[in-house]
């Protein structure tokens, strides 16, 4: 994996689950981690953002966004 991939992250969807990926939404690299948040539990606007990819610039921002997404989830 190239070093630029490791410097950026975004939140997207894989196999129906909210997933954190290395890379940008336009240049997705391998998954960093999966969550227990079902994409299907999200409201349409959040789901659209997830499908486009939600860039995050830090671990703190990542946790904040994941907490917000988890608040919509039944799981």
Question: Over the stretch 24-42, which tens digit does the pLDDT of each residue have?
Answer: 999 988 999 999 999 999 9
| Helix, strand, or coil (residue 40) | helix
State pTM to two decimals.
0.90
What are the structural domains, with CATH classification, of the chain? Answer: 3-70 (3.30.70)
SS (H, E, C) 24-63: ECCEEEEEEEEEEEEHHHCCHHHHHHHHHCEEECCHHHHH
Contacts of 52 by beta carbon, 8 Å cutoff, 6+ apart? 25
What pLDDT shows up at residue 7? 87
| Helix, strand, or coil (residue 29) | strand
């Amino acid at each position: 994996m190239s070093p630029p991939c490791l410097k950026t992250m975004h939140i997207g969807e894989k196999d129906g689950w909210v997933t954190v990926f290395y890379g940008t939404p336009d240049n997705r690299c391998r998954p960093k981690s999966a969550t227990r948040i079902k994409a299907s539990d999200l409201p349409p606007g959040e789901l659209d953002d997830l499908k486009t990819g939600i860039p995050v610039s830090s671990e703190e921002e990542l946790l904040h966004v994941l907490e917000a997404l988890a608040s919509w989830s039944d799981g």
